[in-house]
Structure 1
Amino acid sequence: MQLSTPVILYLLLINLFAFALMGIDKEKARRHKWRIPEKTLFLSALLGGSVGAIAGMQLFRHKTKHWYFVIGMPAILVLQAAGYFFLSHRF
């Protein structure tokens, strides 16, 4: 199964969005301001932005001490990759 241009564009945008959310939340944490809810960060990953979220975690050193992010984000990526490979070989 080959990804269509709209799907590729969506994945690019959602990953950029997830990456930006990590950076914005890190900056807000530094300044002791209103924070982006953790469920929003996870939702962006679940909607296809797991690569961007993981990259943002690493680059901004954000949420790297929280086990549920350290394990959860890569787990989401693995499940998404497995789902893609399952669907691509099924259809």
Structure 2
Amino acid sequence: MLYFIIVINLITFFTFSLDKWKAVKNRRRISEFSLLILTFIGGTIGAVLAMVIFRHKVSKTNFLLKIGLIILAQIFIVIFFNLKILNVENVL
């Protein structure tokens, strides 16, 4: 699992940086949907780092809201599965 998280974050980081490069060069861009999917499946750290380092998509309120919702969903998923593993799902 750790290897997956490392790899997906590296892929997400480089995909966001490639999209920024394409934006600067007026080339065909990577879809927001693709960027969000990479973020959702575990690339959140890579996405946020690329957004901060390259100042990419940070002024797009709609995109930032979607990233925020993905982060909230991931938090709830982690909490849910941790509670399920600990066998305390009745607490909810």
Q: TM-score, normalized by length of structure 1?
A: 0.85
Q: Which runs of 5+ in 1 are unaligned?
A: 1-6
Does 2:24 align with 1:30?
Answer: yes
Distance 1:16 1:82 in 2: 23
Q: Which runs of 5+ in 2 are unaligned?
A: 86-92
Q: Answer with 1 or 2: which has the greater Rg.
A: 2
Q: Which has the higher contact order (CA 8 A, sep 6+)?
A: 1
Task: Give every structure 1 segment of 4 or more consecutive aligned residues whose post-TM-superposition deviation is greater than 3 Å.
Answer: none
Q: RMSD over aligned Cα, in angstroms? A: 1.1
- The letter for the 2-side match of 1:14 is I
Identity of aligned residues (%): 29
Does 2:57 align with 1:63?
Answer: yes
Aligned residues: 85
1:2-43 Cα offsets, whole Å, 9 max, x none, are: xxxxx1110111111111111111011111111111111011
Distance 1:9 1:73 in 2: 23
Which position in structure 2 is the counterpart of 1:4? none
